[in-house]
Amino acid sequence: MQISDRPLAVRNSTLSILIAELSTECLKVQALVNQLQLTSLTANQQAEILAELLAAAIHLRNHCDEDFQTLITEEMENLPDDQD
């Protein structure tokens, strides 16, 4: 079950959507890395996988920008104190 199939423990709906998208992209990167571990890849297959990995890395870099970081910080600041 992917993260998008389950509710997240965050209040901000925008942050929730961004985290779900981040999860999907990370799964894509992991699949690409797994493909690169195959020993029988041709040079063309390697090039295609690397190109997809580059695109995913650029997407992740853009996705995790300052606005995303700010949303996470705000979510953390709004968490209640766990006082026992």
- CA 23 to CA 46: how far, in whole Å? 24
DSSP code of residue 11: S
Reported as a single tens digit per residue, the pLDDT across 49-83 is 999 999 999 999 998 999 999 999 999 999 988 76
Nearest to 31 by CA among 15, 8, 53, 47: 53
Reported as a single tens digit per residue, the pLDDT across 19-37 is 999 999 999 999 999 999 9
For the chain, give every domain's residue range. Answer: 7-77
pTM, 2 dp: 0.79
- CA 30 to CA 33: how far, in whole Å? 5
User: What pLDDT is stored for residue 1 in this prediction?
Assistant: 41
Residue 6 or 53, more confident? 53
